[in-house]
Amino acid sequence: MAALLAGLLAAAALPAVAGPDAVRGAKLYEARCGGCHAVETDRIGPRHAGLVGRRAGGVMDFDYSPALKTSALRWNAQTLERWLADPESLIPGQRMGYRLGDAAERADVIAYLATLSASR
């Protein structure tokens, strides 16, 4: 536990120096989002291929909350930043029970999400 905590603190300390990094974002995505999301397949949450640029609630056969489905948002760096920091304040009534509290981690994950084209 102490080692895990030390590792997390070390990881959190890096991005402030280095700036957003999609490679680090990919690892964070596995660790933080992988329990519910995958790139190519829907799980508890919708698939993320082609996310940036698409409408919120845009995966055809995923069963979204009505709140997300009707939000009329489009995913870009700004909306993703607000969503990951606090989904409920961005879209009240949404169903993602997770926040990414660390701003540097959010920047890395968003940099990674931007690499996921729809055709992958």
Which are the contacts of 81, defined by CB distance < 8 A and separation ≥ 6?
106, 107, 110
**Closer Cβ to ligand HEC, 13 or 36, answer by number:** 36
37 within 8 A of 48, measured Cβ to Cβ: yes
- Least distance to ligand HEC from the beta carbon of 12, Å? 14
Q: How many CB atoms lie within 10 A of CB 68?
A: 21
**Closer Cβ to ligand HEC, 15 or 57, answer by number:** 57
- Least distance to ligand HEC from the beta carbon of 80, Å? 6
**Closer Cβ to ligand HEC, 10 or 70, answer by number:** 70
* Site residues for ligand HEC per CB under 6 A: 32-33, 35-37, 44-46, 51, 56-59, 64-65, 67-68, 75, 83-84, 94-98, 100, 109
Which are the contacts of 56, defined by CB distance < 8 A and separation ≥ 6?
68, 69, 71, 72, 73, 74, 75, 79, 91
- The 3-state DSSP class for residue 37 equals coil
**Closer Cβ to ligand HEC, 27 or 95, answer by number:** 95
- Least distance to ligand HEC from the beta carbon of 65, Å? 3
